[in-house]
């Protein structure tokens, strides 16, 4: 596949004002004053500051960490990195090249500032001798102001485009969205289009057929069983028609687990490959936290994730519960914690960037992966966190649903429960906490299983799907 660009469009796109800055030069003899917040022991932060000094900046470094200041300055956490800086009212997040900062100051756009999310190797300050000349691709992002009802973009290693939508709901939402998406895709030069879930499939299919290009369908879920769809008969009928018309026309299809594969193949008599959302292999030393670690939940704090049972269950468990994430059940969860006087035992961390979440997960003793089977999507789920816990050797409590049961049959990494309620969850947690032999078994099994269930193995499936499209 030569000179191809795979374009992925996020779901429910609303206005953010995010753009990619191309490489451009800017010359000036002016000494720019910039304030930087960093961790006192962060070597790449110091390297970036030294780089700026060599490129016409005077850096005032404040060694107190940057998480609090990032939030205070208004930089969305999903674009977070190891340091945050401020210059002339603009926020600079991460390893941003000096020439892009100078361009920002020259053009003065209405924006929060610039960001290079995470810490890509080869970016300024991440280009030392220890990296042996390695240069990973990255983008410099111009971050705009969010509308109150805008959804947030998650930082990715590829270009993302926001489609401006004045209409955020109602019958005209998808009509206007599809029209704008159609013309956006029409302008893209690519060898193949990938439609992620049904809400992108129609414009992607139309453009692919018009331009005589390949099209692939990536099904993350049973779209027609979503809560906002299944209870609206007319809407449900429309989405089922779109699914019926579109999927048979795909050049290739894949989904996230074997259970969904069976459903799609049975329905459409069309092959679906399985590409699971699995963590990268963690090769760092793994802690054994049986005696001292905390219980951890990471992910969306949404209805259906068993918080109404998990929180009361902590009254029977002698450990701290840390909850990382945000969602539609967050306020109710906090209210429940307060009403049960569990504020000393349950800590809400809010959204935690991936590079910070990894460290939190390493120190946990038990992970939580619980769902209420309110729909096929929940019962047939295979959550990312299941593999995150596995990669860090953390035993976990999970539901005895098909996908978790299948993995647990091969490698017993989780204590599975049948029906979630306060008592079953408390019993499961205490069984792990009071039985070190059983706990150590799950821990060791996780360390063995992670060599198999890692993205390094899974990505080969994805690459082969696209290679086979152009095999002829």
Cα dihedral 139, 145, 150, 151 sign: positive
CB 149 within 8 A of CB 169: no
Strand blocks (E) in 220-355: 252-255, 273-274, 294-298, 321-324, 346-350
**pLDDT computed for residue 125 by the predictor:** 94
**What angle in degrees, to the nearest 10, is found between the helix axes of 233-246 and 201-210?**
30
Q: What is the pLDDT of residues 170-207, one digit of tens each?
A: 567 778 888 888 988 888 888 999 998 898 899 999 99
Q: Which residues of the chain have pLDDT under 70?
A: 1-30, 110, 144-171, 227-228, 472
Q: What is the pLDDT of residues 216-240, one digit of tens each?
A: 999 988 888 876 677 778 888 988 9
**pLDDT computed for residue 6 by the predictor:** 28
Among 398, 403, 465, 466, residue whose Cα is nearest residue 432: 398
**pLDDT computed for residue 94 by the predictor:** 95
135 & 162 share domain: no
Which CATH number is 85's domain given?
Answer: 3.40.30.10
For 201, residues 6+ apart whose C-beta sits below 8 A from its C-beta are 195, 217, 242, 243, 246, 247
Helical segments of 223-283, H only: 227-230, 233-246, 258-268
**pLDDT computed for residue 441 by the predictor:** 97
369 & 229 share domain: no
Helical segments of 247-280, H only: 258-268
- 364 domain residue, yes or no: yes
- 471 domain residue, yes or no: no
Whole-structure pTM value: 0.63
Dihedral-angle region of residue 109 (phi above 0 means left; psi in -120 to 50 means alpha; beta otherwise):
beta
Rounded to an integer, what distance in angstroms lies between the CA atom of residue 463 and that of residue 465? 5
271 & 407 share domain: no
Q: What angle do CA 419, 342, 404 make, to 5 degrees?
A: 30
- 459 domain residue, yes or no: no
28 & 4 share domain: no
**pLDDT computed for residue 84 by the predictor:** 95
Which CATH number is 3's domain given?
Answer: 3.40.50.2000
**Residue 162: count of CB within 10 angstroms of its CB:** 18
The total domain count for the chain is 3
**pLDDT computed for residue 346 by the predictor:** 96
Q: What backbone torsions phi and psi does residue 334 show, to the nearest 5 degrees? A: -65, -40
27 & 139 share domain: yes
**pLDDT computed for residue 2 by the predictor:** 30
257 & 164 share domain: yes
Q: What is the CA radius of gyration of the chain?
A: 24
**What angle in degrees, to the nearest 10, is found between the helix axes of 402-410 and 258-268?**
130
**pLDDT computed for residue 449 by the predictor:** 96
CB 145 within 8 A of CB 17: yes
40 & 6 share domain: no
């Amino acid at each position: 596949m030569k000179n191809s660009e795979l374009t992925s469009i996020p779901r429910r796109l609303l206005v953010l004002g995010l753009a990619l800055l191309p490489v451009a030069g800017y010359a000036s003899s002016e000494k720019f004053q910039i304030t930087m917040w960093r961790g006192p022991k962060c070597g790449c932060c110091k390297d970036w500051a030294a780089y700026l000094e060599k490129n016409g900046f005077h850096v005032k470094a404040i060694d107190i960490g940057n998480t609090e200041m990032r939030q205070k300055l208004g930089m969305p956490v999903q674009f977070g990195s190891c340091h945050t800086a401020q210059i002339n009212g603009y926020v600079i997040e991460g390893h941003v090249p000096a020439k892009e900062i100078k361009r920002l100051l020259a053009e003065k756009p209405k924006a929060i500032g610039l960001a290079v999310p995470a810490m890509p190797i080869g970016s300024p300050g991440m280009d030392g001798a220890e990296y042996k000349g390695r240069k990973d691709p990255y983008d410099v992002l111009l971050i705009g102001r969010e509308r109150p009802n805008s959804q947030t973009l998650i930082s990715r290693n590829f270009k993302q485009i926001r489609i401006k939508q004045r209409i955020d709901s109602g019958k005209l939402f998808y009509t206007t969205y599809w029209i704008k998406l159609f013309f956006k895709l029409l302008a893209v030069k690519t060898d193949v289009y990938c439609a992620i879930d049904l809400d992108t499939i129609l414009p992607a299919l139309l453009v692919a057929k018009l331009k005589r290009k390949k099209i692939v369908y990536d099904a993350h879920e049973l779209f027609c069983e979503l809560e906002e769809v299944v209870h609206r008969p007319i809407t449900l009928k429309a989405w089922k028609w779109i699914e019926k018309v579109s999927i048979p026309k795909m050049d290739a299809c894949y989904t996230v687990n074997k259970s969904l594969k069976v459903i799609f193949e049975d329905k459409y008599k069309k092959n679906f490959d399985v590409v699971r959302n699995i963590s990268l292999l963690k090769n760092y030393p793994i802690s054994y936290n049986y005696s001292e670690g905390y219980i951890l939940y990471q992910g969306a704090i949404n209805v259906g994730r068993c918080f109404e049972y998990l929180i009361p269950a902590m009254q029977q468990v002698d450990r701290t519960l840390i909850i990382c994430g945000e969602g539609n059940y967050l306020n109710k969860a906090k209210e429940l914690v307060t009403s049960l006087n569990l504020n000393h035992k349950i800590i809400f961390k809010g959204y935690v960037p991936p590079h910070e979440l990894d460290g939190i997960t390493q120190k946990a003793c038990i992970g939580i992966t619980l769902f209420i089977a309110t729909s096929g999507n929940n019962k047939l789920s295979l959550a990312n966190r299941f593999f995150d816990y596995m990669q860090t050797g953390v035993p976990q409590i999970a539901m005895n649903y098909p996908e978790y049961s299948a993995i647990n049959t091969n490698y017993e990494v989780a204590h599975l429960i049948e029906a979630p309620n306060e008592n079953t969850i408390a019993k499961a947690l205490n069984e792990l906490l009071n039985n070190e032999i059983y706990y150590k078994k799950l821990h060791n099994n996780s360390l063995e299983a992670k060599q198999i269930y890692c993205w390094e193995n899974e990505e080969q499936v994805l690459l082969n799907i696209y290679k086979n499209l152009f095999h002829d």
